[in-house]
Amino acid sequence: MKPLKLLICGPVGAGKTTFVSTLSEIPVVETDELASEAIGKEYTTVALDFGRLTLDEQVLHLFGTPGQDRYHFMWDVLAEGALGLVMLVAGDRPADFGNARRILEYVTSRHPIPFVLGVTRQDLEAVWRPAEIALFFGVPAHQVVGLDATSPTAAVRVLAQLLTFIRDSEELVP
Ligand SMILES: Nc1nc2c(ncn2[C@@H]2O[C@H](COP(=O)(O)OP(=O)(O)OP(=O)(O)O)[C@@H](O)[C@H]2O)c(=O)[nH]1
Ligand SMILES: [Mg+2]
């Protein structure tokens, strides 16, 4: 089986680098640098995160994107050849939801690939839940999954959901 390329998108601080690091069975290629402007955290991804894992004998290549708009040219570069998308949004940052929706529309309009929407920070108390996010984004509820991006079990569940979508959509192709 050929490795399957998956793209991880989302706003700054959604948990993309964390998600790739939690899942990868090899040391992650990270490009986090000191943020040059106030973005609410010290380090930010400037090019990509790359990780790899094997799930059900399928090798997955995970490409995390930078969240900052200034690096948005990387979204298209990294999306090339991707067969699925994990769109992450932090459940405790409603101020970022509009931007997350914009990123999702940008990526899926240019690269119409199956996606799941992962709502991170479900380990915290005051967070939006997947069902609420599904309504806000206008995405079917079964396509939205809550997770703690630091939890391997939760992160694998998101990927398993995405793989199911990818397989279902391949079956639809005549
Ligand atoms: N409690 C909790 N913390 C999380 C979760 N996901 C990410 N974090 C934390 O949130 C912070 C930001 O996460 P990153 O993975 O750097 O976010 P990012 O999406 O890669 O951000 P950029 O690269 O700047 O776009 C880190 O301190 C993580 O440990 C989660 O599900 N729960
Ligand atoms: Mg990052």
**What's the gap in Å between 140 CA and the centre of ligand 2?**
26
Model pLDDT, residue 36: 85
What mean pLDDT do residues 95-115 have? 96
CATH topology (fold) of 4-172: Rossmann fold (3.40.50)
Say how far apart CA 10 and CA 97 lie, in whole Å.
10
Neighbours of ion ligand 2 (CB under 5 A): 16-17, 45
Convert the pLDDT of each residue in 57-86 to its tens digit. Answer: 999 999 999 999 999 999 999 999 999 999
pLDDT at 170 over 90: no
Model pLDDT, residue 56: 84
**What's the gap in Å between 168 CA and the centre of ligand 1?**
30
Q: Which two tokens stand for residue 168?
A: 């279902």
pLDDT at 10 over 90: yes
Nearest CA to ligand 1 atom 30: 121
**Dihedral sign (CA 173, 138, 70, 92):** negative
**What's the gap in Å between 81 CA and the centre of ligand 1?**
26
| Mean pLDDT across the chain | 95
Residue 79 vs residues 8, 85, 99, 134, 152: alpha-carbon distances, Å = 9, 9, 18, 23, 24
**What are the boundaries of each domain within the chain?**
4-172
